Chains A and B, each alone.
Chain A
């Protein structure tokens, strides 16, 4: 058990550090901390213009959504970059569980997503004048962490497709764009068609954003635990799906000798 935890924990951290082979602190700050803040401002001002919902709806919802940026792309890169850098074969040759290796890689990305969402929420609340009760902070942290974890597993599911399809970043770009629409972060759920709401219910962010908004509005943690539980269930669902797809596609890519085909 200790070895498995080491594989999941240390392996994930090492893989995360390897990202800084190509990224730099300035890219990190620009892309993951400042960029999402502008995204939040865009939708907050759009919301103010049309008066569809108040600032809390847009600020809190979009802050939760910012976790998706790092987690979905990160989860995708956890698999896709191995192929891109020619190291996928080495990973798959390992005698250890590949499922544990890849699931472990999601954890640092989820931590990253939590950091981004928390910093975006803090800065946006200060700049746009949103007051959040101090008692809501632990619950908000829990909602953001759950969202980040669910997004990471969602990203890993997309990354698993990278074992089968060549241009997995096309899929992740489209997925991130769809999250803007389907999660109801920018349009109140009752203004969206039932079909979009149904898809949103099985996507990450939707339930966590709902929980976070209610917490920021003063709801006690107990009231929003079911929503956070739903978000966690969505995340677990994607983790299981990712593990299944990784197993199937790995076997398939060995059989078809298409492991490193780009």
Chain B
């Protein structure tokens, strides 16, 4: 059910010119910016890191706005009641939606790598060529699970849009997607340590540039599973509360 649901939602998201254009174009601009910045900083040997980092940023943006607005989008499409009426747990029905946002985020990663290779001649010499796709897939799965927590948490907040708009850059920054975590103030360390994005980004970067991939990926998935459990419980609570107060269809 999760696989079929995720495939359905990936197809649906992939038919939106807006989603596709944003998922492809904005990360490419970010990657271009990063490439010029790395070159200007005398780090031409780290261009692959720039392309991968910009791709990760695109993945997070897709998950943040896609998963954060997952329930609201179903509400706008008039499909929320049907989802809640299904004989399966609402969390199980919504998990494919959030996983799909992560999977469509891979468009950003593919776009930045292809852009870097074709336009700037960045060699795609991954330090761990086998581990790299596994790390990306694990990171995507982890972010999809984290997305369920975002989806159920945001629906409780009246001004979730404002929160989503605020969360894009801080997570890019604190998770070390482009700026190394070591360059940030020390107090950001504990914040970064509990975010699955930090460990997912570390696993992908280490697969690309060298380093122990599996420990970081394992921590990413462990935190993501905890987020999934929390999101599941929250979603169940939200669904019950919405049914009791008859506010399911209300914005």
Instruction: Give A contacts to B, CB under 8 Å.
Output: 24, 26-27, 29-31, 34-35, 38-39, 41-42, 45-52, 167, 169-170, 173-174, 177-178, 180-181, 186-188, 191-192
> Are B17 and A30 touching (Cβ within 8 A)?
no
Q: State whether A49 and B183 are in contact (beta carbons under 8 Å apart), knowing that A27-B159, A186-B37 are contacts in the complex.
A: yes
A68 to chain B, nearest CB (A): 14
Decide: B29 and A30 in contact? CB cutoff 8 A.
no
A-B interface contact total, Cβ < 8 Å = 95
CB distance from B32 to the nearest CB of A (A): 6
Given contacts A46-B37, A49-B179, 12 further A-B contacts (CB under 8 A): A24-B159, A26-B158, A27-B159, A27-B165, A29-B162, A30-B159, A35-B169, A39-B169, A42-B173, A174-B21, A180-B30, A187-B37
Contact status A42-B172, CB under 8 Å: yes
Binds A, one of B38-46, B78-86, B105-113: B38-46
Min CB distance A21 to B, Å, is: 13
State the majority secondary structure of interface residues on A.
Answer: helix
**Residue of A41, A45, A50 with most partner-chain B CB within 10 A:** A50
B179 touches A46 (CB 8 A): yes
- Bound-state CA distance A87–B172 (Å) is 39
A-B contact pairs, 21 of them (CB 8 A): A30-B163, A31-B162, A34-B166, A38-B166, A38-B168, A38-B169, A38-B173, A45-B173, A45-B179, A46-B37, A46-B178, A50-B40, A52-B37, A167-B17, A169-B18, A174-B25, A177-B29, A177-B30, A180-B33, A187-B40, A191-B40
Contact: B184 with A30, CB < 8 Å?
no
CA distance A29 to B41 in the complex (A): 34
10 tightest A-B CB contacts, nearest first: A50-B41, A30-B162, A191-B40, A38-B169, A31-B165, A27-B162, A26-B159, A177-B29, A49-B183, A187-B36
Q: Is B180 an interface residue (CB 8 A)?
A: yes
Residue of B nearest to A50 (CB): B41
Give the size category of B's interface with A. Answer: 35 or more
Q: Does B22 contact A (CB under 8 A)?
A: yes
| Set of chain A residues within 8 Å of B178, measured between Cβ atoms | 46
A170-B159 CB under 8 A given contacts A39-B169, A50-B38:
no
- Which B-chain residue is minimally distant from A186 (CB atoms)? B33
Alpha-carbon gap, A170 to B20, bound state (A): 10
In the complex, residue of chain B having the shortest beta-carbon distance to the beta carbon of A192: B36
**A48 contacts B183, C-beta separation under 8 Å:** yes
Question: Using Cβ atoms and an 8 Å threshold, which residues of chain A touch B29?
Answer: 177-178, 180-181
Does B161 sit at the interface, judged by CB under 8 A? Answer: yes
For window 159-214 of chain B, which residues contact chain A by CB distance below 8 Å?
Answer: 159, 161-163, 165-166, 168-170, 172-173, 178-180, 183-184
B 35-64 contacts with A by CB, 8 A: 36-43
Q: Which residues of A contact B38 (CB under 8 A)?
A: 50
Which of A38, A42, A191 meets B179, CB within 8 Å? A42
Contact of A170 among B17, B36, B162 (CB under 8 A): B17
* CB of B184 to closest CB in A, whole Å: 6
A173→B161 CA distance, assembly (Å): 16
Nearest chain A residue, comparing its CB with the CB of B177: A42
Name the residue in B32, B36, B38 with the highest tally of chain A Cβ atoms < 10 Å from its Cβ. Answer: B36
Distance in angstroms between the alpha carbons of A173 and B29 in the assembled complex: 12
CB neighbors of A among B7-36 (8 A):
17-18, 21-22, 25-26, 29-30, 32-33, 36
- Across-interface contacts of A174 in B (CB, < 8 A): 21-22, 25-26
Chain A's closest residue to B22 (CB) is A173
